[in-house]
Structure 1
Amino acid sequence: MLFNTFYKTSCKTLVKPFFDTYLRAHFGVLLGAFFTVFGLNQSTFAAAPSGAQTPPPVQVIAYKVPLAPIQKSISVLGQLQAQQSVAITSNVSEHIESLHFKDGQSVQKNQLLVSLNAQEERALLNENQVAINEAKTQYQRVKEVEGRGNVTRALVDEKQRIWQSLLAKQTVLETALAERSITAPFSGTLGLSRVSVGSLVSPGLVIVSLDALQQMQVDLNIPEQFLGVLTLNQAVKLSTAAYPEKQFMGSISAIASQVDANSRLVQVRAVLDNSDGLLKTNMMMQARIDMPAKQRLIVPNSAVVMLGDLQFVYQLIARENGLYQAQKTVVKTGQIGAEFTEITQGLNVDALVVSQGVMRVNDKTLISIKHLQNPENQATPIEQADLLKPKVKPDTQSNIKPNTKPGA
């Protein structure tokens, strides 16, 4: 116990101060001896950074941003209607006496469709006709003896008034009788009947629908900012899920005079031919209106990188020895197609961007262009998978001679 205390006190008071003083005084000598023993010198460490190898440039596929004609289009949904369409109804409450049509039949204008019970109207009409004949006879009699005896001018006028009143009543009765016969207001195709003989119909009850299907129309709601490119007779391309392989052509026939104050949409009506009878009323149609083509900047879809809400491309900035440096450039995009994306802001025409290999570059990477993707510079497109394949390293041992023993 006493020895340990003496040892610790001696180390702190004698040994440690000695070695601290010695090392400060002879540190340089000791370091030089270390370099001499191991064959090292200061020039060895100074030359190390200059001898380090820089990484080779990354090869990418580039694209020279051109101005290309971009044709934008307006796509909206609309419900198809026949140019003439009506629900056949009755103006009076009466039972159906007979039906003169079949479901789905094509009819002509003024063709009789439905006959309602009209026995009472016919009887009243016949009764009134007898009264007319009697009133006419009495009027003619007093007219001939006017001024004789008690036949005065007032009596003649009274007989004439009665006769004319009965004639007017005849017209009313004939109209009532005509309302019991329902005819087609125009030529077209009937729908399915909703009544049968003996049914009681009343005003507003639909008996059958009638549509003129030779010409169809569709009303489209277009945002008001496109009003400047809409014109009468402008082509409209329409399609429907019922005929996915067929495209129907129409044209704008009318543009509404007002814009809806709430939705800021303007209604546009397009008409199309339906002589083949494929289209039906109330079918849902996808309409597309092509706008005039304009020159826009485009890049391949593979060049655009998404990062959160931002979109950017790697623009290539020329450096020495034919190399480039990537610069991350934020862009704004417009219409996105199957292969190319419209650039509305962030790039200029003829700018070089990385189109394939974007995942291998960053702002500090030196880049060499392997190919230009533009069609005029490359006949066969290069897939990104081919670009990213690892390169085969050359056989560095082929030029090294095999070891030989001395004296061999």
Structure 2
Amino acid sequence: MKRIVVLLALVSTLGLTAWTLLNNKKEVEEKVYKPNPDQKVGVRTATATLRNLAQENAFLGSFIPNRQVEIRPQAGGQISQLPIEEGQQVGAGRLIAKLDDEQLRYQIEGLQVTLEGYQNDLKRYENLVKGDATPAVNIERTQLSIRSTQAQIKQLQKQIANATITAPFAGIVTEKMVEKGSVVSPGSPIAKITDISSLKLVVDVPEKAINQFHVGQTLSVSTEVYPDAQFAGRVTLIAAEGDAAHNYPVEITVHNAGKNQLRAGMYGSIANTNKLKGQMLAIPRQAIIGSEKQPQVYVVENGKAVLKSVKIGATTNDYYEITNGLEPGVQVVTSGQVNLQNGTPVTAQ
């Protein structure tokens, strides 16, 4: 008897639970939104047409000086003159530094006295040889001594010339490493001169776009610091070798004149337009959905959105070329695809 009562209680509990679950399911189903299959979805469309496409690529880079050099003396010594300051404009041949050459001049003076003595000896030997009073070998030895002394004088004169250090080209003193009175050794840097009369904009161009450039090509250069100004540039170098990412440095030389002065290190950009050949079927980029490997578009046919697979070719900032899957004149959906399924009724806005 007791078992029967327990069994009946268990059955009652299971029945109550099942009834509760069914009741909750009905309530949930009533709350779930069910789209009306006949309700039209508003979308925006565009017409697939034949176009002459132009592909515009923008590249960002930075300016480097036209020329830059560290001034290094060929001789060593103490700096006796240093008439430059950082930021100073200097012309080609302008004195940068002068090394103390007083000792070298004293040596030349001593050698000149020695040379004069040899030359006097040579005259005497020449007269004595005529009278057989001395052997001719004395003349040869004196002539060799004269030549040796002259060579020593030339070496010292070259060292004196090296003690005067001048600017190899016009530019700005961008760094001064020493002060007057410093002792420098041959090859140690004393100043840096930068020529920004023209600048080189260096941009990294990917492999697929490198054929859009050629040496001598003129381009318009824009900058962040002068957003309303355009600078005329000319391609002067295209690297023969790219980096690990298959980017190739391209140099565009810009003449730096006028009121908008550029400086090395500033950012600059170019926009190169590559005109694609012939007319081609194109649609706006917004119409493409899916992935690049499996692109798709919604086409409006008889008031419904029909999903179609397409193949794309060339691309620009605004359009995709369609090589297969569409015909000219069809309407493609450019906005509202998120609300569509294949066969959804639509109305174009």
| TM-score, normalised by the number of residues in structure 2 | 0.76
- Aligned-pair identity (%): 22
2:168 aligns to what SS in structure 1?
coil
Q: 2:49 maps to what in 1?
A: 66
Distance 1:284 1:61, change over 3 A: closer
| Structure 1 counterpart of 2:337 | 358
1:49 is matched with none
Q: Is the 8 A contact 1:147 1:153 kept in 2?
A: no
Following superposition, the deviation at residue 134 of structure 1 comes to: 2.0
Residue of structure 1 aligned with 2:166, choices 169, 183, 196: 183
Output aligned runs, 1:6-405, within 5 Å.
Answer: 55=38, 58=41, 60-256=43-239, 258-260=240-242, 262-276=244-258, 278-294=261-277, 295=279, 297-305=281-289, 311-317=295-301, 323-331=302-310, 332=312, 335=315, 337=317, 340-344=318-322, 346-367=325-346, 370=348, 387=349
What SS does the aligned partner of 2:147 have?
Answer: helix
* 3-state DSSP of counterpart to 2:262: coil
Pairwise CA distance, 1:116: 1.4
2:31 aligns with none
Seen in structure 2, the aligned counterparts of structure 1 residues 108 and 269 have a Cα distance that, compared at 3 Å, is same
Task: Pick which of 54-63 and 174-183 moved more.
Answer: 54-63
Contact 1:192–1:209 (Cα < 8 Å) also in 2 = yes
Q: Deviations over 1:97-121 (max 9, x none)?
A: 1212233222222221111122221
Q: In structure 2, how many angstroms separate the alpha carbons of the residues matched to 1:113 and 1:357? A: 70
Q: Distance in 2 between matches of 1:297 and 1:128?
A: 89
**Given residue 211 of structure 1, which amino acid in structure 2 is its aligned partner?**
T
Distance verdict in 2 for CA 1:181–1:298, change over 3 Å = same
The Cα shift of 1:333 comes to 7.8
**Could you tell me how far apart the structure 1 residues matched to 2:305 and 2:233 are?**
49
Query: What does residue 397 of structure 1 align with?
Result: none
Letter matched to residue 191 of structure 2: V
Q: What CA distance in whole angstroms lies between the structure 2 residues aligned with 1:144 and 1:348?
A: 112
SS of 1:171's equivalent? helix
Deviation of residue 158 (structure 1)?
Answer: 1.4
Equivalent position amino acid for 1:272 in 2: V
5+ residue gaps in structure 1?
1-52, 318-322, 371-386, 388-408
Letter in 1 for 2:163: R
1: CA distance between counterparts of 2:152 and 2:40? 104
Q: Does the aligned pair in 2 maintain the 1:143–1:156 contact within 8 Å?
A: yes
The structure whose Rg is larger is 1
* Unaligned segments of structure 2, at least 5 residues: 1-35
- Distance in 2 (CA, whole Å) between partners of 1:216 and 1:77 is 15
Is the 2:54–2:316 Cα contact (8 Å) retained in structure 1?
no
- Residue 29 of structure 2 corresponds to which residue in structure 1? none
Quick one: distance in 2 between partners of 1:147 and 1:361? 122
- Please tell me the residue identity of whatever aligns with 1:155: N
- Output one character per residue of 1:322-348: Cα deviation in whole Å (capped at 9) or x when no partner: x243221345586463xx342455544
How far is the alpha carbon of 1:160 from its aligned partner? 1.1
Matched residue pairs, number? Answer: 310
Provide the rounded CA distance (Å) in 1 between the counterparts of 2:39 and 2:246: 57
Distance (Å, rounded) in 2 between the aligned partners of 1:131 and 1:64: 99
Alpha-carbon distance in structure 1 between the residues aligned to 2:245 and 2:127: 76
| TM-score normalised per structure 1 | 0.66
Root-mean-square deviation (CA, aligned residues, Å) is: 3.1
Greater relative contact order (CA < 8 Å, ≥ 6 in sequence): 2
